[in-house]
Amino acid sequence: MENIYVTIGLEVHCQLLTRAKMFCRCSTDYIGKTPNTLVCPVCMGLPGALPVLNRKALELAIKTALALQCEILPEVVFHRKNYFYPDLPKGYQISQYDFPIGVRGVLEFTLQGVKKRVRIRRVHVEEDAGKLVHEGPDLRGAVSGVDFNRAGIPLVEIVTEPDLHSPEEAKECLVMLRSIVRYLGVSDGNMEEGSLRCDANVSVSLSPEMPGTKVEIKNMNSFRSVFRALSYEVERQTELLRAGKTPVQETRHWDEVRQVTVPSRGKEEAEDYRYFPDPDLLPFCIPPEMLQEIQATIPELPLQKKERFMREYELPEPEAYILAQDRDLAEFFEACVREFPSPRAVCNFILTEVLKNLNSLNIGIRESKVTPSMLAELLKMVERREIGISLAKGIFEEMFRTGMGARDVMLKKGISFLTSERDLEKVVREVIEKNPQSVADYLRGKEKALHFLIGQVMRATKGQASPEVVKNLLLRELSGGE
């Protein structure tokens, strides 16, 4: 079978974390609010109402563009994008056109250890639209409502060049982009809640010289659906090509239920948005000191952090990469290492136990009850052989659930310090005294007898001792003490 050449470009929208909307003072905290309660004449597009730019939105967009190594254009110009839709109260969206905030940037990420580089075409800022609602207490029959709580929330739009060549790459690129906007604190990047949205352009070609037909995919509401939709689309276009057909240039929707892409209805001809500079907003010149101030607020970004973790803590690349993706997790890791300077152990515990527990509740490390010091304390006990690793996992689960420290969990669970080395010595001696036959067997060279003795100690400690420690203690006692 011949090769296929996949080309993917992403168009990503992130809601910016401003307190007020982009052009009025309404709150942006719209999740779960009663429809049309966070609105005013401006974001409802009432006759006569005028937009006034929220500078914070501009700052966050500039911060994003700077972090993506864009050139920042000196003048911010807002354009009107004209089209009719019921969720668009003014009949136009205030957006940007030929003077976006930033152009020609770069985004880097790694896929299975291989470094990838995607060019960023542009970064611009625009306002969000309202939301059509098809179900609700006031809606009966074939009636739809519009909720304008979301209308006017600032969005940053990031457009990549078509530099991605597989659904895996596209997904990983998006994960990195989310990681960056979260690092910057410009967006919470939550795809499920819609604060991060992604459209993709996909084309498949059978020859590297021949460009394929660009198909736009919309309605992908999670990282998994981005991956699945793109995989489906690549397969669909490949099959068409192999059958000697050409894919149609169109916009398709990802159908999450049926797991297929389907052509979007209507809008067959290219829409003419009739962009023109918004006469209600004067162009904004970015003073150089504003750029410097914003640049100074950009933290160490995921890739830099990963490299530092590899250098400073000697972590392997894959582990460092995963840790660095999540700024909070990375900070948790470093705080923990400061108190328990054994980076590998901390990293391993975080990437297994901590993540497992976080994922089971679908929360971030920030929302968990365990602090870095608490984890350090637990890991210290493991290091001192007071507890075994499997017990430590159980204790951590309890710490995670209750917010109690490791020692408190042990006290409460009656684990007490029986399992501490000195107590353990006592148990070991008792077991030796009670089982002279096995001792004799072992001394005669029967390895199995040792396993029996270890088992006896474990039983006596209700399985809470570390078998490794028990074995060492037994060996020490059996070889005639100190």
To another protein, the closest distance from the beta carbon of 194 in angstroms equals: 21
Of 85-93, 183-191, 308-316, 436-444, the segment contacting another protein by CB under 8 A is 85-93
Nearer to another protein, 80 or 305 (CB): 80
Nearer to another protein, 50 or 475 (CB): 50
Q: Should residue 281 be labelled a site residue for another protein when binding is judged by CB under 8 A?
A: yes
**Position among 46, 139, 361, 411 found at the interface with another protein (CB under 8 A):** 46
Q: Which of 12, 22, 43, 44 binds another protein (CB under 8 A)?
A: 44
Task: Based on the shown chain and the rule CB under 8 A, indicate whether residue 51 belongs to the binding site for another protein.
Answer: yes
* Residue nearer to another protein on the CB measure, 46 or 248: 46
215 belongs to the binding site for another protein (CB under 8 A)? no
Segment near another protein (CB under 8 A), from 1-9, 83-91, 254-262, 466-474? 83-91
Residue pair 450/439 in contact by the 8 Å Cβ criterion: no
Nearest Cα to 152, choosing from 220, 57, 284?
A: 57
Which of 206, 210, 248, 282: binder of another protein (CB under 8 A)? Answer: 282
* Part in contact with another protein (CB under 8 A); list of ranges 50-58, 155-163, 354-362, 417-425: 50-58
Q: Closer CB to another protein, residue 86 or residue 318?
A: 86
Q: Which is nearer to another protein, 151 or 158 (CB)?
A: 151
Q: Which is nearer to another protein, 92 or 349 (CB)?
A: 92
CA atoms within 13 Å, Cβ hemisphere of 57: 28
Stretch of residues binding another protein (CB under 8 A), selected from 80-88, 100-108, 307-315, 391-399: 80-88
For residues 153 and 186, the answer to whether their CB atoms sit within 8 Å is no
C-beta of 320: minimal distance to another protein in Å? 47
Is 41 a binding residue for another protein by CB under 8 A? The answer is: yes
Whichever of 146 and 365 has its CB closer to another protein, that residue is 146
Buried b (16+ CB within 10 A) or exposed e, 415-453: beebbbbeebeebbeebbeebeebbebbeeeeeebbeeb
Is residue 80 a contact point for another protein (CB under 8 A)?
yes
The reply to whether 49 sits near another protein by the rule CB under 8 A is yes
Pairing of strands 251-255, 215-220: parallel
Per-position x/- string for 243-272, each x denoting binding to another protein as judged by CB under 8 A, each - no binding? -----------------------------x
Min CB(204)–another protein separation in Å: 29
User: Residue 278: which of 24, 26, 61, 76 has the closest Cα?
Assistant: 76
Q: What is the size of the binding site for another protein (CB under 8 A)?
A: 28
For the CB of residue 52, give the shortest distance to another protein in the complex, in Å: 5
Look at strands 75-76 and 71-72 and give their pairing: unpaired
27, 56, 77, 82: residue in contact with another protein (rule CB under 8 A): 82
Cβ nearer to another protein, comparing 89 with 100: 89
Tell me the two tokens of residue 150. Answer: 């979301």
Smallest gap, in angstroms, from Cβ of residue 40 to another protein?
8
Report the residue number, 272 or 289, with the smaller CB distance to another protein: 272
Q: Is 86 in the site for another protein (CB under 8 A)?
A: yes
Candidates 46-54, 290-298, 328-336, 434-442; binding stretch for another protein (CB under 8 A):
46-54
State which of residues 63, 90, 305, 327 lies at the interface with another protein (CB under 8 A). 90
Q: Which of 9, 17, 28, 45 binds another protein (CB under 8 A)?
A: 45
Taking the complex as a whole, how short is the minimal distance between the CB of residue 280 and another protein, in angstroms? 5
Question: What residues numbered 307-346 form the site for another protein, per CB under 8 A?
Answer: none
Query: Is residue 53 at the binding interface for another protein, with CB under 8 A as the rule?
Result: yes
Give the N- to C-terminal CA distance of the chain in Å, as an integer.
71
C-alpha distances (whole Å) from 38 to each of 25, 130, 151, 161 are 10, 11, 9, 36
Asked if 406 and 374 count as a contact pair (C-beta separation under 8 A), the reply is yes
Does 92 bind another protein (CB under 8 A)? Our answer is yes
Between residues 271 and 383, which has the closer beta carbon with respect to another protein? 271
Give the nearer residue to another protein in terms of CB position, either 85 or 455. Answer: 85
Q: Using CB under 8 A as the criterion, which residues of the chain lie in contact with another protein when the complex forms?
A: 41, 44-53, 80, 82, 84, 86, 89-92, 146, 272, 274-276, 279-282
